[in-house]
Chain A
Amino acid sequence: ETGVTQSPTHLIKTRGQQVTLRCSSQSGHNTVSWYQQALGQGPQFIFQYYREEENGRGNFPPRFSGLQFPNYSSELNVNALELDDSALYLCASSTRLAAHTDTQYFGPGTRLTVL
């Protein structure tokens, strides 16, 4: 059983550019959540995808968007990058059996630096 994987591990972009981060869910998981972890902070929920549809969103602007594919892998897209978007982006997968008790399994993250 493979765990959650993310690519790339590190990324450097400049302000105004666009970026796509990728996540492969753990085998058997149909739900993917994305989190942003700024330096020295706890992760903050961006959004969640269940069966290819957005299923909950945190307090992030529309320039943060996502996709989930039929194989349950996922992408996080960020347009018009700002300096404050520099952070570790974490993907977590789970099975949506009982939402409150779902255990989310996290990937190692993608470190995004915006210059």
Chain B
Amino acid sequence: AQSVTQLGSHVSVSEGALVLLRCNYSSSVPPYLFWYVQYPNQGLQLLLKYTSAATLVKGINGFEAEFKKSETSFHLTKPSAHMSDAAEYFCAVTAPEGDKIIFGKGTRLHILP
């Protein structure tokens, strides 16, 4: 069965510091992986997705993620945090049949001034 695990329900970084949000996946088939962001009282916005092309995926707002098959990881990074990055971030994987997205429990990112 497909699943994702996000390490750390809350992460705090200082403004300007590196952002690293961790995601590990479990999949019986080559996975398709996503990162979504959710701002307070809003729906989900796609940051980036991995679909078996380049292992380093660049997304919106300066975020990127690297697919590492050997580590079954898809960590999200951003070189320099901005106050506007404060939000909840969800890692997700598609099921083999492709009918649904399976989400992790989310990581709330706090940006310290």
Binding site for B on A (CB under 8 A): 4, 6, 33, 35, 40-45, 48, 55-56, 58, 90, 92, 98-109
- Inter-chain contact total with CB atoms closer than 8 Å: 64
Known A101-B49, A106-B43, A108-B43; judge A45-B90 contact (CB<8 A).
Answer: no
B49, B98, B105: which contacts A99 (Cβ < 8 A)?
Answer: B98
A85 to B64, CA, bound (A): 35
B94 proximal to A (CB < 8 A)? yes
CB distance from B55 to the nearest CB of A (A): 16
Neighbouring B residues of A90 by C-beta, 8 Å: 43-44
Neighbouring B residues of A58 by C-beta, 8 Å: 100
CB distance from B54 to the nearest CB of A (A): 14
Closest 7 CB pairs of A and B: A99-B98, A56-B99, A42-B103, A45-B100, A106-B43, A106-B44, A100-B98
* Cross-chain contact B46 with A103 (CB below 8 angstroms): yes
Known A42-B90, A99-B97, A101-B32; judge A107-B104 contact (CB<8 A).
Answer: no
Neighbouring A residues of B101 by C-beta, 8 Å: 33, 35, 43, 45, 104
Known A4-B43, A108-B42, A108-B43; judge A55-B51 contact (CB<8 A).
Answer: no
Neighbouring B residues of A44 by C-beta, 8 Å: 103
Instruction: Give A105's nearest chain B residue, CB to CB.
Output: B46
Neighbouring B residues of A107 by C-beta, 8 Å: 43
B42, B46, B99, B103: which contacts A48 (Cβ < 8 A)?
Answer: B99
A92 to B90, CA, bound (A): 15
Q: B58-76: contact bitstring with A at CB < 8 Å (1 yes, 0 no)?
A: 0000000000000000000
A34 to B43, CA, bound (A): 12
